[in-house]
Amino acid sequence: MRYWLLKSEADCYSIDDLKSDGTTLWTEVRNYQARNFLRDMSVGDQILFYHSNASPAGIAGVGEVASLCVPDPTQFDQTSEYYDPRATAEKPRWFSPTIAYKETFAAFVSLPTLRINPKFRGMPLLAPGQRLSVQPVSPEHFTGIVALGRSS
């Protein structure tokens, strides 16, 4: 089993939205490196759900990969701002796994909290200037963040 971090703009799709949906198709990723990570996901992989554009930004809870990637339907939708004219049904360019809700942290784990804790040094999330919306997470970092999130 592997561990990942998924970013979502908090005012666009938050952990509460995932909770009420139960599962969601993770669409609209338009970055090749992020796409490749999505394709690497296996059913049962654990997801840290990160709120970006929040104050503060940080990790709100945990999800799980419920199904492997399918072609992202928004790439074929001419009315979508994520429409990609270069994508075809035979050769889709973008892919979406299904993510299931697992838990909302009792204690939101903010970005500043992660930065001051030497345990999390080396996380890609904390690297200056990184913007990738899908990132791998080490088992140690995942466990440490979940422990912080469950504490109150």
Partner DNA sequence: GCCAACGTTGGC
Residue 31 touches DNA, criterion: CB under 7 A = yes
Residue 53 touches DNA, criterion: CB under 7 A = yes
Residue 55 touches DNA, criterion: CB under 7 A = yes
**Cα–Cα dist 111/95, whole Å:** 28
Scanning residues 60 to 79, which ones bind DNA (CB under 7 A)? none
Q: Would you give the DSSP letter of residue 38?
A: H
β-strand 58-71 against 46-52: which pairing, if any?
antiparallel
Least distance (Å) from DNA to the CB of residue 134?
9
Structure tokens at 82: 């994520």
**Binder among 56, 122, 124, 139 for DNA (CB under 7 A):** 56
Instruction: Name the one range near DNA by CB under 7 A: 61-69, 71-79, 100-108, 127-135.
Output: 127-135
- Of 1 and 115, CB closest to DNA: 115
Buried-exposed string 82-101: b where 16+ CB fall within 10 A, e elsewhere: eebeebeeeebebbbbbbbb
Residue 132 touches DNA, criterion: CB under 7 A = yes
